[in-house]
Amino acid sequence: MAEQIVNTYLNTPDNDWYKARLSGLVFAVLAACFMLFIRMFHLQIIEGEEFRRLSESNCIRIQNIDPPRGLIYDSKGELIVDNRPSFNVCITPKDAKPIEETFNRLAALTRAPVSDMEERFKKQKGMPSYNPVVVLPDVDRDILGVIEARRFDLPGVSIQVKPLRHYVHNGSAAHLLGYLGEISQKEMDSGKYPGSLRGDSIGKNGIEKKFEMKLRGIRGGRQVEVDARGRLVRVLRTVEEKPGNTIYLTIDQQLQMAAEALFQGNVGAAVAMDPDNGNILAMVSSPTFDQNEFVAGLSHQTWNALINNPQRPMENKALQGTYPPASTYKILTAMAGLEEGVIDEHTTMVCNGYYRYGNRSYKCWRPDGHGSVDIYRALAHSCDVYFYQVGQRLGVDKLSFYARSSGLGSRTGIDLDNEASGIIPTAEWKKQRTGDVWQRGETLSIAIGQGFNLVTPLQMACFVSAVGNGGKRFKPQLIQKVVDPDGDVVKLTQPELVGKLPVHLTHLNMVRKGLWQVVNAGGTGSLIRMKSLEISGKTGTAQVISRARGDAETSAGPAHWKPHAWFVAYAPAESPKIAVAVIVEHGEHGGSAAAPIARDIIKHYLKETKP
């Protein structure tokens, strides 16, 4: 017992025990301070002279090496976006003194106004004065030669070689590819572009923006020693730049350009898709814009003209434009009616050119009426009266269930920004949006694709593609693969099944038979019938103003009152290889304005891919 107490006492350190340990700490502190002292002596006394020399000419600098941005090819391996060398004249503020004289000499040699140079120069205020500032971007080879020859009269002036983005088929697929522009302060601060410097170009739109981090590569640089005039003495260290990845698109550039040619003079959009995997083959939005002009630096005037143009050239109408689906929506109404059992193959209805519901008369597009129609004739001739009644039997909420399950009214998830979702209304939606109760008559408009319904051409392309392939809904893909500079594939896109159309195959096949008749059995698309190739499709004529105000579809009003023309199709009818959605703004009739464009896109593609 006593022994234990003594042991405990001996094991419990008192304050003095700790104090004895402090001498170790004192020693450690003195040793560390001595180490620092030795280092100071070494840097400041022994090597001080050399460091003083280096500091006097401020000669150790970093020069950036910009990596070449990744190229973009189409699905066939055709180069569609590359880089060309450009030459910038730079001034290093620290070395170019007096600065005014340098400006004047440069102006005399190049005939460029001094004010332009000064403006660019001022923008870089606050940056270290040993950073070169671009004062004349993208000069031509003559000026380059003159400046090189007079190098000695121009202290602090240097030529910077910089790759500049170049769109081979300028204006083609512009909405899809996007363009480059100088990074803004806001983008710098956003943290989305790590490693960016002021003056860098980044993707501002389309694929260029969405795949910025893959395309840009990694900046390299050189640690160099320069002399008092800013000329390179030697390179101390180099870090190699890493070029950006190459992107292969699913787009077929030849088809893309053929489709764009068909839109010459028209405003609208077209999307062509491979029904077997969701690959986008062409995506047109008309009118387009000049991408290379963006790269070179757009003037305020040009920019304002672009954004104030009523034809909205900067908008990608294929996925940002929302339109009433009009009669193309009847495909959906037919599917829903068959699946819900409110109609079957043998259901017939009589069309006298109008349908009375409540105390209102709802017109068919054909004033004389279609007579007795079944589901096939109703689709082929786009009989409104038939679909009014199908819609009435289904109700708005059932219709919207089928539409939403088929991918309408929601984003497809394509790899591009700013995709619109469109609208597929329900009674609940209207109540929330407007505060009003759903009127049953409104369901009739919905059933023929008018009313609140809004879809994008891309959604319709995906939808008709699923109808064509037997019900498989694929996510639309734009990227075939991404390849790194070593040639290794870093990303290979696989078809992505996002769902199935909510109908049985027997019902879908009835709808498909009706769509075949649209073109091949005297329907509304007869104009584009061909012996050699069977196309199935559906026309649509989207009212811009309410039908009640204009007397008929062909109302002779101002151009912007004319309806939009739709045509959605797939071909060959039996096992489709291509699905297309075409909209021509104010094109009037789907059968005459949109269908021929769709036919020519299909023809071009199938001819090209034929072995």
Partner 1 sequence: MMIDRRLIENFDWGLAGITLAIGTVGLIILYSAVNAGGSTGQEMFYYKQMVWFGGGFFLMFMILMVNYKDLEQWAPGIFFFCVFLLVAVLLVGRVVGGSRRWLVLGPVTIQPSEFVKIGTIIILSRFYARNTSRRGFTLRELLRPAGIMMLPLILILRQPDLGTAMLVVLISASMTLFVGIERRSLVYLFFLGAVVCCSGWFFLHDYQQERVLTFLNPDRDPLGAGYHIIQSKIAIGSGMAVGKGYLKGTQNALSFLPEHHTDFIMCVLAEEWGFVGTVFVLGLYALLLIWGLNIAHKARDTFGTLIAVGVTSMFFWGIFINMGMVMGLMPVVGVPLPLISYGGSSVVTTLIGMGLLMSVSIRRFIKE
Residue ranges that bind partner 1, judged by CB under 8 A:
10-15, 17-19, 21-22, 25-26, 29-30, 32-33, 35-37, 39-41, 43-45, 47-52, 54-56, 58, 60, 62, 94, 126, 128-130, 191, 194, 220-221, 223, 236-237, 239
Give me the catalytic one of 86, 327, 382, 400.
327
Closest CA to 327 of 273, 364, 278: 364
Using CA atoms, how far apart are residues 192 and 173, in angstroms rounded to an integer?
A: 26
Does residue 130 contact residue 92 with C-beta atoms inside 8 Å?
yes
Q: Quote the least distance from Cβ 217 to partner 1, whole Å.
A: 15
Q: Quote the least distance from Cβ 236 to partner 1, whole Å.
A: 7
Using CA atoms, how far apart are residues 443 and 450, in angstroms rounded to an integer?
A: 9
Q: Quote the least distance from Cβ 215 to partner 1, whole Å.
A: 19
Q: Quote the least distance from Cβ 100 to partner 1, whole Å.
A: 18
Q: For 435-497, where are the alpha helices, taking DSSP H only?
A: 440-447, 457-468
Q: Quote the least distance from Cβ 273 to partner 1, whole Å.
A: 38
Nearer to partner 1, 10 or 556 (CB): 10
Does residue 363 contact residue 547 with C-beta atoms inside 8 Å?
yes
Q: Quote the least distance from Cβ 116 to partner 1, whole Å.
A: 25
Token pair 């971007």 is at which residue?
137
Nearer to partner 1, 58 or 254 (CB): 58
Nearer to partner 1, 51 or 303 (CB): 51
DSSP 76-144: TS-EEEEEEEEEEEEE-TTTS-SHHHHHHHHHHHH---HHHHHHHHHHTTTS-TTS-EEEEEEE-HHHH
Burial of 62-81, coded b for 16+ CB within 10 Å and e otherwise, reads ebeebbbbbbbbbbeeeebb
Does residue 284 contact residue 318 with C-beta atoms inside 8 Å?
yes
Q: Quote the least distance from Cβ 56 to partner 1, whole Å.
A: 8
Q: Assign 373 to helix, strand or coil.
A: strand
Strand partners, 83: 165
Nearer to partner 1, 21 or 607 (CB): 21
Nearer to partner 1, 57 or 405 (CB): 57
Q: Quote the least distance from Cβ 15 to partner 1, whole Å.
A: 5
Nearer to partner 1, 11 or 264 (CB): 11
Nearer to partner 1, 220 or 369 (CB): 220
Using CA atoms, how far apart are residues 143 and 148, in angstroms rounded to an integer?
A: 9
Q: Which residues contact 356 (CB under 8 A, 6 or more apart)?
A: 362
Q: Which residues contact 530 (CB under 8 A, 6 or more apart)?
A: 599, 603
The yes-or-no answer on residue 327 being catalytic is yes
Does residue 226 contact residue 245 with C-beta atoms inside 8 Å?
no
Order of all β-strands in the sheet with 268-273 = 280-286, 268-273, 578-584, 564-571, 536-542
Using CA atoms, how far apart are residues 279 and 251, in angstroms rounded to an integer?
A: 8
Q: Which residues contact 37 (CB under 8 A, 6 or more apart)?
A: none
Nearer to partner 1, 13 or 145 (CB): 13
Catalytic residues: 327
